[in-house]
Structure 1
Amino acid sequence: MSRAGQLLQVSSGWGGAGMVVGLVFLVLAWVLAPRVRHLADDRPVLFRADAPELFALVDEVARAVGTRSVHAIAVDGSINAGVMTYGVRGRRLLVLGMPLWEVLTPGERIALLGHELAPYANGDTRNGLAVGTAVRTLSLWHHTLGPLPHPSVIEMVVNALYVVPRLLVRGVLVLLVRLTSRAGMRAEYLADRLAARTASTQAAVGLMDRLLITEALGVLLRSEANRAALGGATSSREATAQADELWGLLTAYAASVPEHKYERQRRAGARRGHQVDATHPPTHLRRACLLVGEPVAAAVVPQARRTERIATELAAARTEVARRLPRDGLGD
């Protein structure tokens, strides 16, 4: 007998009130049950037929890292990237933040792909079925039990009743994150090493430097995206031209940052403990770790013609992302 059937059988023995309680439990179980990720339909998603050269590059990087490749690639406006699973069969989705992709060199892009695929090769527990599902489920519960904004009298009572369960969920979530943090930090260092072996030490270190200027890139991107939105492109040709101008300005800014400014950012990051997010070690320590020992050469070498073909495959997506930036923002 299923868990739902057992719950109904038990609650039916309590009379009518028990049935009501059982139904409430069933609704809560349905709302708070672990969810299988699905492909988001609010951003451009590419499959192999749409971008054969990009998928060929990802396949080559995956082989160099020692893991399987992805089944789909989503493009959004975040200054970030990541790989996650979706669907019942656990297929992999690569999420490419177009602003980050645009400012990287071809070698740094390969390092980025290597770093994002590496956790699946080095046994990062945070990407596992048990721990990953637990963290996502607890996060959903914590969000669901959050206080209702601008509550009425009844909603104030509900908010009060939610306080203790929410604190318990938060405590378990914090405990789980802390218990896995050391393994997670180690996995990030290993991912950096695999990225260096895939794209070269120089490319992996260059990627670290780019991460130091993401805040400035975000400010510039928001400003330019809003300015472009005020222009109000009326045709697809104008939208493409505005997107090209936007990404061109972003790329030109990243290329114009001199080495002494990167050095200043590295020193400031060392003082402040700059991190990409709470799950990553300090960026300056990651960079220093890469520079220990002899530099390694690239296992996957950028090819100029492939880079051009990939740019063509991403052209429609980069225009669409630029068009949506004023509305959607930079994402996570």
Structure 2
Amino acid sequence: MHAVTVVLAVGGLWCVVALGGGIGVVAGVVLLALAWLLAPRPGRLPEGRPVLLRADAPELFALVDEVAGAVGTRSVDAIVVDGSINAAVTSYGIRGRRLLVLGMPLWEILTPEERVALLGHELAHYANGDIRNGLVVGSAVRSLTVWHHIVQPLPHATGLEMIVNALYVLPRLLIGGWLILLIRLTSRAGMRAEYLADRLAARTASTPAAAGLMDRLLITEALGVWLRTEANRAALRGPRSTRHATDRAGELWERLTAYAESIPEHEYERQRRAGARRGHQVDTTHPPTHLRRTSLLAGPSETAAVTLQAHRSDMIAAELAEPRTEVARRLLRGALDD
């Protein structure tokens, strides 16, 4: 995939230098422009979402540092807080700085032990050499995703745009097939990385905490429905009610936590059995959740290497107060982050 970009760049330079003239320069510029368009680019900090640096949340970063030390890797350089019911790690900038994306809805419903397990799982992707986050494979997947987005059909196409859409069909099929092939080729390594991350999460926060995190992942779909319902209710009350609701956005987290705590144990058991039948997965890059949980419980029982005391939880909550309010306002406006 990267060789295509290199060939285009070299071919463009050759056309400009060797051929010269008007045709050579035009052809070279076109090839160089394509190489620039298709070249992998370093990630950037997300826009429109709260970004925390060490000075903004020293206690949260201290916890992340401690977890990173427990799993055997270095810590992150920035933390982004958003409205996704998820968490992830990635990189940004030319120097490959590390970024933790923390979904506030998921963070809010977890116990302190499960929060440590979540951090341990995500940081473990750096420790176990997950190739999907590496420079070569990770940038290839990102570039192919961008390519595929560029050649998507233009909506509500006019006459000329219909011709462009028709010309996009073959490139879209080739790029889509290429992307699927790359994902398939790395899927086993990705699945293995998830199991290893679960094991490191158990060593960091204890096996019960890591298993509890697996259970919480079973109700993410229900949490998403609940959040969309709250956003719809705020919209139906009208603009004034919506603004008033966003002023009290902190209440959203209290109601969400109460909803999660109201889910009885037998519902989790039902979800486990249903997941075993239909193969519940967080997404296509993760193994089935019930297999991840079974693997954890079948292994040796681990004790917590990192604990989150009540006073530290309170300090971290204070540091997250402003971002969590901003995210709640976005959620009430219907901006549920993917």
TM-score, with structure 2 as normaliser: 0.92
Which residue in 2 is equivalent to 1:79? Answer: 85
Structure 2 CA distance for partners of 1:3 and 1:268, relative to 1, 3 Å:
closer
1:120 to 116, 120, 126: 126
1:328 Cα deviation from its structure 2 partner: 5.7
1:202 aligns with 2:212: no
1:49 to 49, 55, 63: 55
Which residue in 1 is equivalent to 2:223? Answer: 217
Aligned pairs for 1:226-241 (under 5 A) are 226-228=232-234, 230=237, 231-233=241-243, 239-240=246-247
- Distance in 2 (alpha carbons) for counterparts of 1:284 and 1:4: 47
For 1:249-304, what per-residue CA distance to the aligned partner results, in whole angstroms no more than 9, with x for missing partners?
10001111111110001001111100000000000000000001332110001211
Cα pair 1:222 1:329 within 8 Å, conserved: no
- Distance in 2 (alpha carbons) for counterparts of 1:18 and 1:168: 28
- Distance in 2 (alpha carbons) for counterparts of 1:228 and 1:55: 34
For 1:24-52, what per-residue CA distance to the aligned partner results, in whole angstroms no more than 9, with x for missing partners?
32322222221111112310001111101
Aligned pairs for 1:1-332 (under 5 A) are 4=9, 7-11=12-16, 13=19, 15-228=21-234, 230=237, 231-233=241-243, 239-240=246-247, 242-327=248-333, 329-332=335-338
- Distance in 1 (alpha carbons) for counterparts of 2:152 and 2:11: 29
Displacement over 6 Å in runs of 4+: none
| Letter matched to residue 232 of structure 1 | T
Cα pair 2:330 2:336 within 8 Å, conserved: no
Could you tell me which runs of 5 or more consecutive residues in structure 1 were left unpaired when the two chains were aligned: none
- Distance in 2 (alpha carbons) for counterparts of 1:225 and 1:154: 39
Cα pair 1:37 1:87 within 8 Å, conserved: yes
- Distance in 1 (alpha carbons) for counterparts of 2:273 and 2:100: 32
Structure 2 CA distance for partners of 1:3 and 1:159, relative to 1, 3 Å:
closer
1:99 Cα deviation from its structure 2 partner: 0.4
1:148 Cα deviation from its structure 2 partner: 1.2
1:327 Cα deviation from its structure 2 partner: 4.2
- Distance in 1 (alpha carbons) for counterparts of 2:154 and 2:299: 54
Identity between Structure 1 and Structure 2 (%): 71
Cα pair 2:231 2:334 within 8 Å, conserved: no
Cα pair 2:130 2:193 within 8 Å, conserved: yes
1:93 counterpart SS class? strand
Worse-matched range after superposition: 305-314 or 41-50: 41-50
2:90 counterpart SS class? strand
| Letter matched to residue 281 of structure 1 | P
Cα pair 2:8 2:35 within 8 Å, conserved: no
TM-score, with structure 1 as normaliser: 0.94
Worse-matched range after superposition: 314-323 or 147-156: 147-156
Structure 2 CA distance for partners of 1:181 and 1:6, relative to 1, 3 Å:
closer
1:92 counterpart SS class? strand
**What's the C-alpha RMSD, in Å, of the aligned pairs?**
1.8
Cα pair 1:135 1:176 within 8 Å, conserved: yes
Could you tell me which runs of 5 or more consecutive residues in structure 2 were left unpaired when the two chains were aligned: 1-6
Cα pair 1:243 1:322 within 8 Å, conserved: yes
Structure 2 CA distance for partners of 1:264 and 1:38, relative to 1, 3 Å:
same
- Distance in 2 (alpha carbons) for counterparts of 1:173 and 1:69: 30
**Aligned positions, number:** 327
- Distance in 2 (alpha carbons) for counterparts of 1:133 and 1:4: 18
- Distance in 2 (alpha carbons) for counterparts of 1:326 and 1:263: 31
